[in-house]
């Protein structure tokens, strides 16, 4: 195992990878916020959007730290790719547990009933 050193060739990656991460998060975030706004009551949509953003930032930081540590320790990409695979499987299982709530429709129905009651 040798020491990994940042060379002139790898400096461009240190610039392009965070830029790519910002680009793709700017594409995904409006979709997430639109889904939250359409399917959850207005009272909790801000909290859910903030929680989603915080979890995404934390996951990006921890994933980068664990993956780069595995890469530095092993000297190869196998361990880093295994970490990525485990995270993808966990995220897939977690996303299957998320159910669309019927709260937004119930919230709208309750407001209509309140406005029509004399």
DSSP secondary structure of 93-105: HHHHH----SHHH
Whole-number pLDDT of residue 113? 56
Q: Which two tokens stand for residue 54?
A: 């915080």
Question: In whole angstroms, what is the distance from residue 2 CA to residue 8 CA?
Answer: 18
Cβ atoms < 10 Å from Cβ of 115: 7
Output the pLDDT for position 35.
Answer: 82
Take residue 61 and report the two structure tokens written for it. Answer: 């930081």
pLDDT band for position 104 (50/70/90)? low
Provide the token pair at 60: 């990006």
Q: What is the pLDDT of residues 45-99, one digit of tens each?
A: 888 888 888 887 787 788 778 888 888 888 888 888 888 888 888 878 887 887 6
Residue 42: alpha-carbon gap to chain centroid = 21
pLDDT tens digits, 18-32 = 778 778 777 877 888
Residue with tokens 């965070």: 18
- Cα distance between residue 81 and residue 98, in whole Å: 26
The residue that leads in pLDDT, 58 or 13, is 58
H-helix or E-strand containing 6? none
């Amino acid at each position: 195992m040798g020491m990994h050193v940042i060379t002139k060739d790898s400096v461009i990656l240190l610039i392009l990878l965070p830029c790519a991460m910002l680009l793709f998060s700017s594409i995904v975030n409006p979709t997430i916020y639109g889904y939250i706004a359409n399917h959850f009551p207005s009272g909790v949509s801000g909290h859910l959007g903030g929680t989603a953003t915080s979890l995404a930032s934390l996951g990006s930081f921890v994933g980068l730290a664990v993956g780069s540590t595995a890469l530095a320790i092993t000297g190869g990409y196998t361990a880093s790719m295994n970490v990525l695979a485990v995270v993808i499987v966990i995220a897939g299982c977690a996303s299957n547990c998320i159910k669309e709530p019927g709260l937004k429709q119930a919230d709208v129905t309750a407001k209509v009933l309140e406005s029509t009651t004399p």
